[in-house]
Structure 1
Amino acid sequence: MDNLLNYYNKNAQLFFDSTYRVEMNTLYQPFLRYLKENAFILDLGCGSGRDSLAFKNKGYTVEAIDSSEELVKKAVILSGVHVKHASFYDLKERNKYDGIWACASLLHCKRERLPEVLERIFKSLKLNGICYMSFKYGERDREVEGRSFTDLNEDQANDLLKGNKKWLLLQQWVSNDQRSDHVHEWLNIIVKKISD
């Protein structure tokens, strides 16, 4: 995790500049359709703050967290929402959020810790709460420029979610990168908390 944080702290401006203007409405809509007006959303691993700002502008109550101190500063300035300096490993809330948006953040979670982090997300959601998460499409763990990635495909996602009767898989689909200069495919997953 130290290498990852060093990368994002050192390259915060570059990362911010390359992400904060990316058009994400085609990904927001499948998530937001399950949420009521004025829902309370946690942007889990908010990066530049782009999505926090978008949700706030759509009338939702938003909190955010990110593990990079430098990105937290930038996200606060861009979005104007409360951004906590923390990791998804630190999530401790209970029955607090209507929705959790984990866009391109859990891909930095160690594969063996994904069940633990999903349990933290589960506990943080209210009953019938919705979680969106996305991973780079693939099946392996890899490192790029000091950043570790946990890629996921449909079978791995199903293995991760199966056996947990508290989650209902609402949608799962593969999409292209929203950035025109990137060629990655993404696995998008939306789940609902259906019991405590």
Structure 2
Amino acid sequence: MTNDNPTSSFYDDNAAVYVRRDRSLPQRRLDAFLNTLPAGASILELGCGGGQDAAYMISRGFNVTPTDGSPEIAEQAEKLIGKPVIVRRFEELEDDQLYDGIWAEASLLHVRRPDLPGIFNRIHKALKNGGIFHASFKAGEAEGHDSFGRYYNYLSAHWLNDLLISTGWKDISLNETDGGGYDGKPTRWLRMRARKNI
């Protein structure tokens, strides 16, 4: 997350309730992502939330580094994952060619649009050559806030595709599906996968 106080405050203040919400594990997306990686690959998770995705990836034998921007969320996630969660904001990512994959399910959607190119460049740098980057966003045409005051960048597929091309990604895959969110409202989801060129 970026320094957006209402968004950060929501997760800090509601950590226990948020991580225990009724959330379906995105197993099909996780498996599709993991199947692109070598066995035991190193994975960085950006915005691990309650830790369910990290726990699943670990159960599959992958070397997962879970991170979250909220100390309170990270503390809750550690209880499920059974390993430390690094408290770090996206703009603090400084790793260089450490990971085979980066998983960012419903987390980068809180990054303000002008900040996204820089964050994507940091992610690109953190991946090994040929590494895979997965992320999901709430689809839309204009940035805004939800009923809880959380900021969303609400990206269109065209906008995201142009950003990925301009920041050097290859083998870009985008798709949209209907679903829901924490606010209980119908949500159009935009999901992406891209590769760091070898």
Q: Which runs of 4+ in 1 moved over 6 A?
A: none
Q: Is the 8 A contact 1:52 1:81 kept in 2?
A: no
Hey, what does 2:93 align to over in structure 1? Answer: 91
> Which digits, 9 at most, give the CA deviation of each residue in 1:134-165, with x for residues without a partner?
0001111111222100111111111212234x
Q: Distance in 2 between matches of 1:32 and 1:182?
A: 29
1:37 aligned partner, one-letter code: A
- Return 5+ residue gaps in structure 2 as ranges: none
TM-score (norm 2): 0.91
* Runs of 5+ unmatched residues, structure 1: none
Specify whether residues 179 and 152 from structure 1 end up closer, same or farther in structure 2 by C-alpha distance, changes over 3 A only.
closer
Q: Which amino acid aligns with 2:94?
A: K
Q: How many corresponding residue pairs? A: 193
| Cα deviations by residue, 1:41-92 (Å, 9 ceiling, x for unpaired) | 1110111111110100111001111111110001111112331111111111
TM-aligned CA deviation for residue 179 of structure 1: 6.5
**1:6: Cα distance to partner?**
0.9
Among candidates 125, 128, 133, match of residue 126 of structure 1: 128
Distance, in Å, in 2 between the alignment partners of 1:9 and 1:46 is: 14
Q: Would you say the 8 A contact 1:46–1:75 is kept in 2? A: yes
**Does structure 2 retain, via aligned residues, the 8 Å contact 1:65–1:84?**
yes
* Percent identical residues: 33
Q: TM-score, normalised by structure 1?
A: 0.92
Q: Is residue 2:11 matched to residue 1:12?
A: no
For residues 161 and 70 of structure 2, the distance between their equivalents in structure 1, rounded to whole angstroms, comes to 30
Q: How much is the aligned-residue C-alpha RMSD, in angstroms?
A: 1.7
The letter for the 2-side match of 1:4 is T
Q: Paired residue for 1:82? A: 84
Q: Is the 8 A contact 2:25 2:52 kept in 1?
A: no
Of residues 23-32 and 134-143 in structure 1, the stretch that sits farther from structure 2 once superposed is 23-32
Structure 1: distance between partners of 2:76 and 2:193: 27
Partner of 1:156: 159
Q: Which moves more between the two structures, 128-137 or 153-162?
A: 153-162
